Structure 1
Amino acid sequence: MAPHPRAQIVDRLRKTAADQQWPSWRLTSEIQQQADTPTLLMAWRLAMGVTQEQVCQGLRGLASDDGQQCAVSCQQLSRWEHGKERPGSFYRRLLTRWYRTNVDRLGLGDDPISTYPAYAESEEDPLKRRTFLGLAAAVPMITLEDVRKGLDSHLGVTISTADVDHWRDVVIGHASTYGHTPPAELLTGLTPDMAALAELCRTHPHQRDLHVTAARLAGLIGAAHTDLGHDRDAREWLHTAARLADLSGDNETSAWIVMAQAMTALYSPQLAHVIAIADRAAPAIREAGPGAAQLAGLVARAHAQLGRHTEARQALRQAQTLADKLTLAQQHETFFGFPGRELAMYTSQVLTATGSADAWDAQQIALNGYPDDDPMDRPLILLDRARFLIARDEIDAAADTAAGAITSLATHQRVPLLLAQAAAIGGLLAQADARIAADYIERIAA
């Protein structure tokens, strides 16, 4: 390998893959064959162009998203990549999710990898294995001038500012329909644009603004999956969005993605995970823009629901402090920003969960910020009001409020997230009055 360093081979194959639009499995297979990697696992990492530390961070993040601990180190990953040890089932599952493939194609399955051909014969690149071996016999003389020219060539492959602005407008257009278009329909509508953006990111890996735009669209997809109750899909898309945001180096976008991850966790059984997600974000991210302000609000809601009233009030004050620093544009942006009405909603939810006597007034302030036909936040505030009424033993009023929040919506607007919250209200009503609870369940099911 000395005359033909592995890194050079990998770089060449990655460039060929980008030019000819190879699938990731083909690129991985070529790298294993031509760069003579000890394992397919190493070939996958080289194909992605990431470091061992980045993979380890990704695995730890995936495990944390599931509420589990992962202590994988670069040394451990190196042993797996060199075939000295074999990862257990827990780590194999994380690796398949990180690389978005199956255990067999990672070389970690029970079946011989030879039964999984890299690609069909008809797809094979004209540069055959024998051609590569012939080229490998010649030792290239690489100079710094060659390196400089290669960098210039790479940096010259850019898309115009007008094109970047176009894609930013496309994402804003999709985001503007969120909450008004059924989530499944929204996902269908944006799929072609996400595919086109993904291709642009692949062919222009250095273009920062492009990754910001792709991260936001991936985050929108994650939010739609959250509304549909597709927790796994939401986590996967938000993980991809986080990686795109990290590549962009834009802390504000990263903060928004972290917030979206916390939002998904807020409606899961593992409520404490909201706080864990926020805690593991870098300080610069926790202070950056609308996402940071909203994240602090989510942390306040999580603390309140967990009975940690002091921590909830502290986090709510932090949310207010960060919100006060936002520009007018950030305050008026309804999806990627943090409007004052959302902070009012979070305040009402925190006061409700902590049993504050001021909760009713806070709910009213929050409700006044939304139109009567708002299909998501307003129903959530009304369901919270129903919880407040149950705590005051006003069972009939609570049932009427919660039922009205759901029955006022068109059928396609009754997304799984809302129905799950409505069902939780039914459980609380049943503890107080079985008859009222049964009538309530019948009304929201109609």
Structure 2
Amino acid sequence: MKRRNLLRGALAANLTAPALAALTAARTDVDQTLSPNVPQDLADLEAAAESYGYGYHDQQPTRVLADTVVDFTTLRPLLAVPQPAPVRARLCRTAGQMAGMTAIVLHDVGNRAESRAWFATAARAAAESGDNQLYAWVRAREAMVPLNYGAPKAAVELAEQARRAAGTRPTAAATLAAAVAARAYALNHQSEQARTALAAADALMNRLPEGERSDTWLTYGEQKHHVHLSHAFTTLGDTRRAFESQQRALELSAPTSSTPRTLLNIDTAACSHHDGDTQQACRRAAAALTALPDGYRTGLVRRRALDLHEAIPAQHHHERAAKELQDALAA
């Protein structure tokens, strides 16, 4: 009380040097209590996470993986010490983004076990950050692991978790979750639920703010939307709508987007097979694989081409086009 009265008296009398010193001390005391200095590395790590969101940029997945993991380890000492709540939330958000993107790369190169482990870490970090949209994004991306590797029921469960977390607002995470759910339902032979989810994804996409439409892993652009639609409609056997989405997605894909373009071409091949032209399907899939640079013919791309090959009746396996696909898969 005595200190407060002295301070009040000094300030009321005049802004003398001692009064100004007292004023500065009062502000500094409270300012340091409310908002200690943000760790110097945090802004750099947030910027790094944003840059990783732009994808491979013609780099091999293993190179991107190495960079993200090195930066991710930088977060540990910052998380290991007490931080003010807003700073810790930012650290957890960045950790969730980086762990999620690391999991995406691991998924793309075919390491499912490590991918799931990193998604689990990403989900914990996102939950602690309090960012529901980030948590929904992590769960929707995680759903693509069982989706692409033969467990559509598990994919449905994760995608629906993501949809509940994202809510009904038109966000990148909500739109992604609906599109992934549609693909999972289609693979699970639940065509009615798949078409309902597709309609929901389209409705959300039409209302999605411009700020969430950029072409990154953390947002949801039109190109990505049509990649998901292509696979869903291909799986449903709706080849007309699948072709429309394939063409639009290819128009929007950069020439360096090797993995998405290859997956779209394999979808086109699967549509040819569905429509009865098995030789054309094999030729298209083989051409898509052989056009890839070294280091890219693994993981998801190989799995999708292998699924097509396994769907081809045995009586076609001796034909030249089928052998070309076999050779491409073996390379």
Of stretches 280-289 and 226-235 in structure 1, the one that deviates more from structure 2 is: 280-289
Give me the TM-score of the superposition, normalised by structure 1: 0.62
Q: Give the secondary structure class of the aligned counterpart of 1:210.
A: helix
**Cα offset, 1:158, TM superposition:** 4.8
**Cα offset, 1:281, TM superposition:** 4.4
Give me the TM-score of the superposition, normalised by structure 2: 0.82
Tell me, in whole angstroms, the C-alpha distance in 2 between the residues paired with 1:406 and 1:420. Answer: 11
| Gapped regions of structure 2 (runs ≥ 5) | 1-30
Runs of 4+ in 1 over 4 A off after TM superposition: 152-158
Tell me, in whole angstroms, the C-alpha distance in 1 between the residues paired with 2:244 and 2:157. Answer: 31
Tell me what 1:365 maps to. 248
Q: Give the secondary structure class of the aligned counterpart of 1:413.
A: coil
Tell me what 2:327 maps to. 442
Tell me, in whole angstroms, the C-alpha distance in 2 between the residues paired with 1:199 and 1:277. Answer: 31
Tell me what 2:120 maps to. 239
Tell me what 1:335 maps to. 217
One-letter code of the match for 1:184? Answer: T
String of CA shifts for 1:223-266, please: whole Å, max 9, x gaps.
11111211111111111111111111011111111111111121
Q: 1:159 aligns with which of 38, 48, 53?
A: 38
Is the Cα–Cα contact under 8 Å of residues 283 and 324 in structure 2 kept in the other structure? no
Tell me what 1:347 maps to. 229
Is the Cα–Cα contact under 8 Å of residues 212 and 248 in structure 1 kept in the other structure? yes
Counterparts of residues 66-81 of structure 1 (less than 5 Å): none
1:178 pairs with 2:60: no
One-letter code of the match for 1:442? Answer: D
What root-mean-square deviation, in Å, do the aligned CA atoms of Structure 1 and Structure 2 show? 2.2
**Cα offset, 1:179, TM superposition:** 5.9
Of stretches 263-272 and 277-286 in structure 1, the one that deviates more from structure 2 is: 277-286
Q: Give the secondary structure class of the aligned counterpart of 1:176.
A: coil
Is the Cα–Cα contact under 8 Å of residues 93 and 125 in structure 2 kept in the other structure? yes
**Cα offset, 1:166, TM superposition:** 2.2
Tell me what 1:309 maps to. 191
Is the Cα–Cα contact under 8 Å of residues 139 and 161 in structure 2 kept in the other structure? no
Counterparts of residues 31-70 of structure 1 (less than 5 Å): none
| Gapped regions of structure 1 (runs ≥ 5) | 1-151
Counterparts of residues 126-275 of structure 1 (less than 5 Å): 157-159=36-38, 163-178=41-56, 180-204=58-82, 206=85, 207-275=88-156
**Cα offset, 1:332, TM superposition:** 1.0
Q: Give the number of equivalent residue pairs.
A: 294
One-letter code of the match for 1:400? Answer: R
Q: Give the secondary structure class of the aligned counterpart of 1:239.
A: helix
One-letter code of the match for 2:186? Answer: A
User: Which structure carries more helix by proportion?
Assistant: 2
- Bigger relative contact order (CA 8 A; separation at least 6): 2
Q: Evaluate the alpha carbon distance shift between residue 191 and residue 347 of structure 1 in structure 2; reply closer, same or farther with a 3 A threshold.
A: closer
Is the Cα–Cα contact under 8 Å of residues 100 and 118 in structure 2 kept in the other structure? yes
**Cα offset, 1:357, TM superposition:** 4.4
Q: Evaluate the alpha carbon distance shift between residue 329 and residue 156 of structure 1 in structure 2; reply closer, same or farther with a 3 A threshold.
A: closer
Is the Cα–Cα contact under 8 Å of residues 258 and 278 in structure 1 kept in the other structure? yes
Q: Give the secondary structure class of the aligned counterpart of 2:318.
A: helix
